[in-house]
Structure 1
Amino acid sequence: MNVLRSALYGMLPRSRRESRAEPGQAVLSTKTAAALLCAACSLPAGLELSEVPYYGLSPPVYPSPLGNGSTDARWASAYGRARDLVSRMTVEEKANVTRGWPGICVGNTGDVPRLGIPSLCFADGPAGLRGQEFVSAFPAGIHVAATFDRDLMLEYGRAIGREFRGRGVNVALGPVAGPLGRVARGGRNWEGLSNDPYLAGVGMGAITRGIQEAGVIATPKHWLLNEQEFRRRRTPLGEAISANVDDRTLHELYVFPFMDALREGAGAVMCSYQRANHSYACQNSKLLNGILKTELGFEGFVVSDWDAQMSGVASANAGLDLVMPNAGFWGAELVQAVRNGSVSEERLGDMAARILASWYYLHQENDYPPPAIYTNMQKHFPVDVQADHAKLIEEIGAAGTVLVKNINNTLPFKKPRFLCVYGYDATVKAGPWQNRDRYGGGYEDNFGWNTLNGTLITAGGSGGNSPPYVVSPFQALQERLSKDRGILRWDFYSENPTPYVNADACLVFINAYASESFDRTSLTDDFSDRLVLNVASWCANTIVVVHSAGIRTVDAWITHPNVTATLFAGLPGQESGHALAAVLYGDVNPSGRLPYTVARAEADYGALLNSSVSAARFPEANFTERLWIDYRAFDRDALAPRFEFGFGLSYTSFAYAGLAVSLLRRAPAAPAEFPDQSVPVVQGGHPALWEVVAVVRCTVTNTGAVEGAEVAQLYVGVPGAGEDSPVRQLRGFVKVGPLVPGQAREAVFELTRRDLSVWDVVAQQWRLRRGRYAVWVGASSRDLRLAGDFVIE
């Protein structure tokens, strides 16, 4: 019973451990909560709670914290103005700004003309303004993550922010770290920033900062545990899937990347469709009131995913601030709930204040352009916001391209005169049956694309984008060959194309598609595998290019001796062909790294291959793997991947030397085991979590013959690694270079308290464990060149 009591105690927010409750605050006794907990987990007789890897219980946290701007001066100023405005609003006006209305944007809030409060315009998506003309189609999130480049992540956010602002969009619906990528075949993994929480967090922070530097409210999504598409929403079969996860895993994997976005001042967060520990995410008081608004000090507003609200009073009191795309259970009903006391007027005022504070925080009250959002059937003056973003898109496209095989220096090309191009992915259209171009339609056209419909630059659903044009790989190769007076032969249709024995090289283009609303059924496809093998059967220099919305297994052909080079080219956006040609011809030395593990066989992903499938009235997805997803699981099981997380080749080589680890000490003693709880939190969590605790240094030298950049990666094993924690976890990366041959440069990794901490479920705090911390630096999660350690006593 002591184990049960300790674990349960750790799930409850700190305020619940006091002997008295705040007014209106529901408190569970240990006995009652234990009964609920065991019922949710279906504990077999005699099994202790410490042996149960998930809890399935979401404890109540009420009331919803008031936003007050206490985390910094800028938020304080925004709240001062927002509260003054709210004090002059009627109950009906407050309710009006907390709901969606029909309008020209994907989402439109209610306005209050007499007080100068406009309708705010919300728009998809994380990779560019969807469904509009004269906007850019940026690379997808998973492609940006593959760059392992903080500077490019920031520039990406800035460019997207400028385009949204230029079209008068107040709120951009991105970036994405939910799904994180727990399920290998997850349909929306490509929208996110890898299945590693540290890499995803760096991307979330940088992109959020960039979007908001342009004056647009960023909306990190989906909060939280939206890790599969199957049964993510309520259906005639029953309720949405319940993602059941333990408290430590919740924090160390799924909350972790959102902390970086909040740290950068995110003005909004979108809650997700599915249930979390048996409570719908948009009315889950533990997730919204407890973790987001209390523990992480979130000052902005929580907006529902479209039609994700499942209740009226319950969602309001649990911390939802804005419902989309219409009134949902609110509107006049919310006014009535305030009148009868079911929802306090203070809570309604806080909902309105949070929305208006974000509006003020981004200074959108000052000369913000009106929305310029049009349908394809409207005649309108073109509002062009593309600027020179094509250059950035090409740069990110090349930087996120991952070279995984390159036998005998097949690449870069050395001015080839005769190339063959095969495969449906090489061009914008493929095959005589294709009567329309896949680009140019609306949201619905994103669904139904299959692997034979042409080159893949984005994937499906609300995370897709609308390119002004598409530079296909075939187009870019034609441009190169024509300058060299070469010859090009192609076949975009055949599974077994005509041989050309005089060709210098044969390029085979295949892809792997994914979309919102369904999960993938395979990480490969037979047609593509046969195409590669048929070409390789006669072409001694076969180069395979994979445009992929996530993991794509390649063992059907990767070891074939005639497959001399292979590139994972991701989802690179509108400049796809130019980005790829730059890598193929050596204008850019590839430095992209895999943001996931590519297994030798799909079965190697085990229980995390597929989404949880159930016809039950109340379906479950039990996160029994806890912290062990992707490379963490492969390391635990000593399972050899085909290509490990963080892997990628270069046209040159690099050496690592001189590892030095220093633990920074604050006078008069070492960092405390727990942060000082007397210090108020800032947005993103306790301020001490962001303090640098240790610094790791090493020297990286270009030992090859050409200029290039290396992505040096830092992995850490906390005390207890291999027992209750992963063997190693990514906790730093630095893109070193470009370096000319023989040039050396120092790589410096700063480790914050959060990077080294675990979530203590009893103390409900991040904790620095005492003991030995192992440190590795290398070129991937398996290619570890240097090792060291330090001790926190």
Structure 2
Amino acid sequence: MESLRSRLYDLLPDSEQVVFTMKGAVTSLLAASAGLAIASPPSEVPYYGRSPPVYPSPIGNGTSNEKWATAYSHARSLVSQMSVEERVNITRGWTGTCVGNSGEVPRLGVPALCFSDAPDGVRGQEFVSAFPAGIHVAATWDKDLMYRYGRALGEEFYGKGINVALGPVAGPLGRIARGGRNWEGLSNDPYLAGAGMGAITKGIQDAGVIATPKHWLLNEQEFRRRESSLGEAVSANVDDRTLHELYVFPFMDALREGAGSVMCSYQRANQSYGCQNSKLLNGILKTELAFEGFVVSDWGAQHSGVASANAGLDLVMPDGGFWGNNLTQAVNNGSVSEDRLSDMATRILASWYYLHQPNTFPPPAVCPNTQKHFAVDVQDDHAALIEEIGAAGTVLVKNVNNTLPFKKPKFLCVYGYDATLKASPWANPARYGGGYEVNAGWNTLNGTMITGGGSGGSSPPYVVSPFQAIQERITKDRGILRWDFFSENPGTPYVNAEACLVFINAYGSESFDRPSLQDGFSDRLVNNVAAMCSNTIVVVHSTGIRTVDAWIDHPNVTAVVFGGLPGQESGHSLVSVLYGNVNPSGRLPYTVAKQESDYGALLNSSVSLDWFPDDDFSEGLYIDYRAFDKNGIEPRFEFGFGLSYTAFNFSSLSVTKDTASNLAELPDPKVAIVQGGHPQLWDIVAVVSCTVSNSGKLDGTEVAQLYIGIPGDDTPVRQLRGFSRVGPLAPGQARKAVFELTRRDLSVWDVTAQQWRLRRGEYKIYVGASSRDLRLDGTLTI
């Protein structure tokens, strides 16, 4: 069937139309070859958006800046010396030492480039660190920590001789509440995700490693993301404006910071597979955003030879796919131009030069753990940073009568499978590997959770569990500790216990979407403990949204902490918050609803059983908090929410225009586009500031958040357009929060002009502590 499918894609001249027009006899032919029976062709399904053909693929030119120009000069010189076969070899993946390896040209000194997962640490290796997951980093709302995170990641990849790190992630953006891979990404908001994408990309590449923002584009669910015996992969159908304002938006930040690679996705987008979608690759990525680097396929995401080459794919992973000798033949017979082949090779080598990797890059030091080898230790002092990020991304959502921070308790009880490393004798001991092997046997008693499953999972050198860290602290205070990691109903209470801590988690993974945002075992455990303990503190480690209304209002549940996915120092990070060594400043990177049905059509992934399944993004711009605002739904905990052990006041709002009064609605068309988009999109056109003061009794840090209401009844009432961590502030201390607004921040995507456009009118300005706790408001007129 694969052979037949690939021939059909290659024979038809415009790959964008293939899937949408393969009806009737073609569908029956494919079904028959797969041994399936289809009673009738799939019906026409309306979809939102289209994927028009954009050819030819733009030739990379290195004009974004001097550094890219120099890299292209070296790359072109090298490629000009290569035969067709050598250029072809560079564009195909090979299995071997690394997760993926590009082809080499030994006579010219071009090595195989080493590619490896994951976005939160080098996966499957020894003496590497397990960093917090992307969603946890987003919960810090801290651009400096995001950069330091990326830099530390890059240092470990560099130390292992890995040329290309497969991250960071903004696809999925978190559109689907139960999405299996939401935890790999950087929140449900394009602005917050963009800040993370830019900072992490810069950090990775400052360490000398090529970053690979992924998955480009619209990879928002696991269900039917790939073709199978059920039929083709799901098609994410989205209109042009939503495509840009939500899903392209965060990738722009990564590209602006010089990302050397981008990974295309598995699923179809507006009826065309992501790695042969010429609109997404040639049109938006390489023309509109002037991408200078190379596009690499997700592993096994190529569906055609000629069509994917002409649509803008530059490197196929992992085993050559439909290329190799077939690509040589296609170039020789003119199906793929020699210029396109040269551009593919040049883009790959230009990124290699751009990161100064020739001659100085260490050889790969990766090896299967089952094979005896010399181990290269790249951990450095990253454990301290991991602990810092772990604490900074911890979100306190309930704290009755100052239950927390602890004040040297002498008697604590710990309950729940998530408190320790392995809660039951039949739990899977390979839990921390993060590989696919842990998914099938997953159950709720597997122990504490520091990462999710699949290719995005990390491989920790050790794990500090919450129980271990609590035990260390209670020992210092010469206290007493009692525990039960297994029981759903622990039974007789310890009447002298000062507090009962209940640890639960919510798992998610690549390959499947979450079945629920809650689980009965955990909810019953919390309620059973609360029934016998008047001071019950719940800690949730989760791969995303976890609803809590089954127990959140129980009078004996006095404090609730969303612990996220904090990495290997999990227990130390948590205890520093519980005991007040760190005042919590984490804020939710998503909306927690009162009930799952509040997410509406965006709760579950598409369940279409058609041979060509569709998922229409008919909600447009209204996902997460934007949808809750539009539909008047009161969340349990809103986007941006988080408590502190102290209190803060906001005052003295100031809104000043820079060049806004003289701005044209559209950027100057005569200005050359550079990587990341039109350079004027990043011009600062207004500055908003306010004063944040600590009105409480403890030192603490506030996250001031700026939301903008763009003129027009077709825009969300509010969307995040700035944030600033203010602190630490001592009691009574005040500091200014400053938000710089760019042209892009205030623009909408004009589908007619095919450009970002400023709207004339009154922009509403809101500043506060969350998307609903808005303390100050003003206006900006353009």
- Structure 2: which 5+ residue stretches go unaligned? 1-12, 22-44
Equivalent residue in structure 2 for 1:508, among 493, 502, 505: 502
Deviation, 1:510, is 0.2
Describe the superposition over 1:314-358 as per-residue Cα deviations: whole angstroms up to 9, x where unpaired: 000000000000110000000000000000000000000000000
SS across alignment from 1:315 = helix
Q: Map of 1:146-157 to 2, 5 A cutoff?
A: 146-157=139-150
Equivalent residue in structure 1 for 2:725, among 735, 739, 764: 735
**8 A contact 2:541–2:565 mirrored in 1:** yes
Equivalent residue in structure 2 for 1:683, among 658, 675, 682: 675
Q: Which residue number in structure 2 is paired with residue 522 of structure 1?
A: 516
SS across alignment from 2:704 = strand
Q: Which residue number in structure 1 is paired with residue 544 of structure 2?
A: 550
Q: Map of 1:605-616 to 2, 5 A cutoff?
A: 605-616=599-610
Q: Which residue number in structure 2 is paired with residue 22 of structure 1?
A: none
Q: Map of 1:245-256 to 2, 5 A cutoff?
A: 245-256=238-249
SS across alignment from 2:437 = helix
Aligned letter for 1:541?
Answer: N
Say yes or no: does 1:393 pair with 2:386. yes
Equivalent residue in structure 2 for 1:532, among 504, 519, 526: 526
Deviation, 1:97, is 0.3
Describe the superposition over 1:277-335 as per-residue Cα deviations: whole angstroms up to 9, x where unpaired: 00000000000000000000000000000000000000000000000001100000000
Q: Map of 1:439-454 to 2, 5 A cutoff?
A: 439-440=432-433, 442-445=435-438, 447-454=440-447
Equivalents in 1 of 2:225, 2:184: separation in Å? 16
Deviation, 1:734, is 0.1
Equivalents in 1 of 2:349, 2:765: separation in Å? 45
Equivalents in 2 of 1:288, 1:583: separation in Å? 44
Say yes or no: does 1:563 pair with 2:557. yes
Equivalent residue in structure 2 for 1:472, among 458, 465, 476: 465
Q: Which residue number in structure 2 is paired with residue 346 of structure 1?
A: 339
Equivalents in 2 of 1:559, 1:337: separation in Å? 65
Aligned letter for 1:365?
Answer: P
Equivalents in 2 of 1:547, 1:67: separation in Å? 44
Equivalents in 2 of 1:335, 1:620: separation in Å? 35
**8 A contact 1:131–1:443 mirrored in 2:** no
Equivalents in 1 of 2:46, 2:411: separation in Å? 58
Aligned letter for 2:688?
Answer: V
Describe the superposition over 1:450-499 as per-residue Cα deviations: whole angstroms up to 9, x where unpaired: 32200000010000010000000000000000011100000000001031
Q: Which residue number in structure 1 is paired with residue 450 of structure 2?
A: 457
CA 1:435 to 1:347, structure 2 compared with 1: closer, same or farther past 3 Å? closer
Which range is displaced more, 563-572 or 54-63? 54-63
CA 1:519 to 1:740, structure 2 compared with 1: closer, same or farther past 3 Å? same
CA 1:92 to 1:435, structure 2 compared with 1: closer, same or farther past 3 Å? closer
Equivalents in 1 of 2:318, 2:425: separation in Å? 40
Equivalent residue in structure 1 for 2:652, among 647, 654, 658: 658
Q: Which residue number in structure 1 is paired with residue 598 of structure 2?
A: 604
Aligned letter for 1:670?
Answer: N
TM-score with structure 1 setting the length:
0.93
Q: Which residue number in structure 2 is paired with residue 227 of structure 1?
A: 220
SS across alignment from 1:621 = strand
Aligned letter for 2:586?
Answer: G
Deviation, 1:742, is 0.3
Say yes or no: does 1:420 pair with 2:413. yes
Deviation, 1:382, is 1.6
Say yes or no: does 1:107 pair with 2:100. yes
Equivalents in 1 of 2:760, 2:434: separation in Å? 57
Equivalents in 2 of 1:594, 1:282: separation in Å? 33
Q: Which residue number in structure 1 is paired with residue 24 of structure 2?
A: none
Equivalents in 2 of 1:55, 1:229: separation in Å? 20
SS across alignment from 1:158 = helix
SS across alignment from 1:411 = coil
**8 A contact 1:430–1:493 mirrored in 2:** yes
Aligned letter for 2:462?
Answer: Y
Q: Which residue number in structure 2 is paired with residue 715 of structure 1?
A: 707
Equivalents in 2 of 1:26, 1:687: separation in Å? 32
Q: Which residue number in structure 1 is paired with residue 576 of structure 2?
A: 582
Q: Which residue number in structure 2 is paired with residue 20 of structure 1?
A: none
Q: Map of 1:221-300 to 2, 5 A cutoff?
A: 221-300=214-293
Equivalents in 2 of 1:441, 1:564: separation in Å? 33
Deviation, 1:56, is 4.0
Q: Map of 1:162-173 to 2, 5 A cutoff?
A: 162-173=155-166
SS across alignment from 1:420 = strand
**8 A contact 1:654–1:710 mirrored in 2:** yes
- Structure 1: which 5+ residue stretches go unaligned? 1-24, 37-51
**8 A contact 1:26–1:62 mirrored in 2:** no
Q: Which residue number in structure 2 is paired with residue 383 of structure 1?
A: 376
Equivalents in 2 of 1:449, 1:164: separation in Å? 29
**8 A contact 2:241–2:750 mirrored in 1:** yes
CA 1:516 to 1:26, structure 2 compared with 1: closer, same or farther past 3 Å? closer
Q: Which residue number in structure 1 is paired with residue 638 of structure 2?
A: 644
TM-score with structure 2 setting the length:
0.94
**8 A contact 2:427–2:443 mirrored in 1:** no
Query: How many residues matched?
Result: 748
Aligned letter for 2:553?
Answer: T
Say yes or no: does 1:746 pair with 2:775. no
Equivalent residue in structure 1 for 2:757, among 747, 750, 767: 767
Describe the superposition over 1:417-437 as per-residue Cα deviations: whole angstroms up to 9, x where unpaired: 000000000000002333635
**8 A contact 2:48–2:616 mirrored in 1:** no
Q: Which residue number in structure 1 is paired with residue 776 of structure 2?
A: 786
**8 A contact 2:704–2:769 mirrored in 1:** yes
**8 A contact 1:338–1:344 mirrored in 2:** yes
